[in-house]
Amino acid sequence: MNTRLLIVIALIIAGIAGWFFQQQDEVSPPVSIEAPDVDYEATEIKAVQTNEEGETEYKLTAESLTHNPETNLDEMSGITMNWEPSAESRYLIEAGTAAISQQTGDLSLSGGFSLISENKKESSDIEPIKVTGSTLKGNTKSGKIYSEEPVQVEQGMNRFEASSMTANLETGEYEFGQVAVSFTSAERQDKALF
């Protein structure tokens, strides 16, 4: 073949390819990259928080954790927390979801929670208190918690419901609002006194 013929065929092919690409429309919609809503996220979390003296405040396990930069909160799901606000008491807290501020210590539990008090003294005869409800708020640094929604309370054989609760976990003091108790008395037995 002649070289001139090959050059002409190459120019025709290049012209057709150039015309074809010129006829193509722009890609729509254009790709946009936005900043993510989280700084970091992790799964299967095991964490320990200490105070300024290096003493353990709480130990925490969670299924997942994400840090929200807008609110500066650690948002977790499936949490279990061993909280020791004082030398005498320890609390086991479980919740569906939680949001904790590491700087302020503010804590918000939702998705159902369970709070169980445990006395560190082995010889204690005091039954643990178990409080369950839907939401719980508090502060890990002050040791105070509260719920403005109904809670159920159990201690040994005693059970009652309350419309709200506040507690100071360092001192072990609880306050309940509008307590409702159902009381079943023992069956009456008529016996002769003499």
Residue 30 lies in a domain: no
| pLDDT score at 161 | 92
Structure confidence at residue 125 (pLDDT): 74
pLDDT tens for 97-107 read 999 888 888 98
Q: How far apart are CA 6 and CA 17, in angstroms?
A: 16
Domain assignment of residue 169, yes or no: yes
pLDDT bin (cut points 50, 70, 90) of residue 31 is: low
Ranges 9-13, 33-37, 92-96: which has the least confidence: 33-37
Q: Residue 109 pLDDT > 60, yes or no?
A: yes
Q: Domain span at residue 116?
A: 40-177
Is position 91 within any domain? Answer: yes
Q: Is residue 134 pLDDT above 90, yes or no?
A: yes
CA 66 to chain centre: 10
CA-to-CA distance for 86 and 96, rounded, in angstroms? 25
Query: What average pLDDT does this structure show over 12-41?
Result: 71
pTM of the model: 0.68
Q: Which amino acid is at 152?
A: Q
Domain at 142, CATH number: 2.60.450.10
Contacts of 194 (CB under 8 A, 6+ apart): none
Residue 54 inside a domain? The answer is yes
- Position 45 scores a pLDDT of 85
The answer as to whether 148 is a domain residue is yes
Within a domain: 13 = no
76 in any annotated domain: yes
**Number of domains, the chain:** 1
The answer as to whether 12 is a domain residue is: no
